[in-house]
Chains A and B, each alone.
Chain A
Amino acid sequence: MCPVRIPTEQEKHGRRGRPITDHDAQEINRVEELSYDLKVREVMTARLHTTSPEVSLSDVLEILRLNRISGVPVVQDDQLVGVISIEDIVRAMERNDLTETVGQYMTRRLVTVASYDSIIKAMQTFTESRVGRLPVVDEEKKLVGMITKGDITRGILLALQKDYKEEEVRKYRASHLFEDIISDRTTLVLRYNIKAQDYTHGGNASSNIKRALLRLGADPQIARRCGIAVYEAEMNLIIHTNNGGILKLEVEPHRITMSTTDDGPGIQNIDQVLEPGYSTASELVREMGFGAGMGLVNIQRCVDKMEIESTPGKGTKLTMRIQVPAENFNGRKNG
């Protein structure tokens, strides 16, 4: 949940040293997102101690001491007119002036935030004004609360905790899928359309398949074997087919079946493609680190059963099966 951050050189100069682009926007993390989503009113302290300008400083000091707070807003005729803090009182003490009124020593330079502002706005205001606490006002400029940096941290942590719980519930529900749905034979089928030559997105479908299996409660070892096999198969569709193909995952409580189907060019000699090192891949594909003639060999190693049916000129169907031990997908959390 809390990765240690090592700021990079670039990061010291902002997000990789350039303004936020649409691409960056996609990678903005959850805390940044929350900073825009959470509103000041959701994290502020609403139960307020206030005072008025004519109160003596010694009385205010007593309020601060009893409530263990370091400042209070000053209100006159329902309007916020200033803030009196420990620092102001220290100034008065230096002059032996504690009998004076709040009005004499309070800070009148009023920096406020609105209750409907996002907490990112509040954080910016904290940085600019260099104060530790800010009065919060509503649409009619009436004082409704106070906010500190601690309130913001607490608000974000609470929201993250809620996120985490929701994810746990989702995971729990997914992993109980096969228990909750009663039938003689339940199969969950996921289909992915794979485009030929789409090297940039190569592996996206496999990545989603692996995630789905883990969420369904599959043993991590089994999810890893499926991931590697289906990734090689996905790359084969991208590298070798004329028009791409369909990648299909079928999950049953006792078995996982993955398959790829395409409409050509088909394989001339199946025995040959199963030989380690045999490859028809182009130079471009080899430069990307594929086409070493190990794909199908790797798949065979990862799955319990592999079948290839192919007709030259028509297409190829590759089926991969992995048996799941009885205790998997039963809703118990694995790993």
Chain B
Amino acid sequence: MNLRDVIKLANGTLLTVSIDADIQVSGGYGADLMSDVLAASRPDAVLLTGLTNPQVVRTAQMAEFRAIIFVRGKQPQTETLQIADQENIPLITSPFGMFELCGRLHQAGLKSFETNVPG
């Protein structure tokens, strides 16, 4: 699915200036721990998070995420928006909570990029 579909499913509002909405999103990842994100993610996914500090954008950039969606309608800090615009990483805010949004995207066919621990 492309980023336009993801924004639609998330009932999302785009916060950054310009994006390529046709870009393909291959999977999803939901986390509030940035080290977890760096440890387990594959590139080209969308990151769902409740964190709004600038490190979220840096993490997304390093791990090559396509976009960041803030859950529960959170608004990012000014510095976060600035870095995101500068690094061309789309920021989206969604009214849904983490569980709800993960569920909606997963049900619509977006794969989980989280690595399960063998148990």
- What is A's interface to B at a CB cutoff of 8 Å? 3-6, 8-9, 11, 23, 26-27, 29, 199-200, 202-204, 206-207, 210, 224, 227-228, 231-232, 235, 288-290, 292-295, 297-298, 301
Complex: A224 Cα to B39 Cα, angstroms: 12
- What is B's interface to A at a CB cutoff of 8 Å? 7, 13-15, 17-22, 31-36, 38-39, 43, 49, 51, 53-56, 58-59, 61-64, 78-79, 82, 85-87
**When the two chains form their complex, are residues A290 and B20 in contact, meaning their CB atoms are under 8 A apart?**
no
Complex: A26 Cα to B49 Cα, angstroms: 27
A231 with B54: in contact, given A3-B18, A224-B43 (CB under 8 Å)?
A: no
Complex: A294 Cα to B33 Cα, angstroms: 10
A8 with B53: in contact, given A224-B64, A298-B38 (CB under 8 Å)?
A: no
**When the two chains form their complex, are residues A224 and B62 in contact, meaning their CB atoms are under 8 A apart?**
yes
Complex: A301 Cα to B21 Cα, angstroms: 33
A289 with B63: in contact, given A8-B14, A301-B39 (CB under 8 Å)?
A: no
Complex: A290 Cα to B14 Cα, angstroms: 26
13 additional A-B pairs beyond A203-B55, A289-B55, beta carbons within 8 Å, are: A4-B19, A8-B15, A11-B17, A26-B82, A200-B79, A202-B54, A203-B61, A203-B62, A204-B58, A206-B62, A231-B38, A288-B51, A297-B39
Instruction: Give the residues in chain A near B61, CB-CB below 8 Å.
Output: 203, 207, 210, 227
**When the two chains form their complex, are residues B53 and A289 in contact, meaning their CB atoms are under 8 A apart?**
yes
Complex: A228 Cα to B39 Cα, angstroms: 9
**When the two chains form their complex, are residues B19 and A6 in contact, meaning their CB atoms are under 8 A apart?**
yes
Instruction: Give A289's nearest chain B residue, CB to CB.
Output: B34
Give the most central of B22, B49, B55: most A CB within 10 Å.
Answer: B55
Complex: A108 Cα to B32 Cα, angstroms: 66
Instruction: Give the residues in chain B near A232, CB-CB below 8 Å.
Output: 35, 38
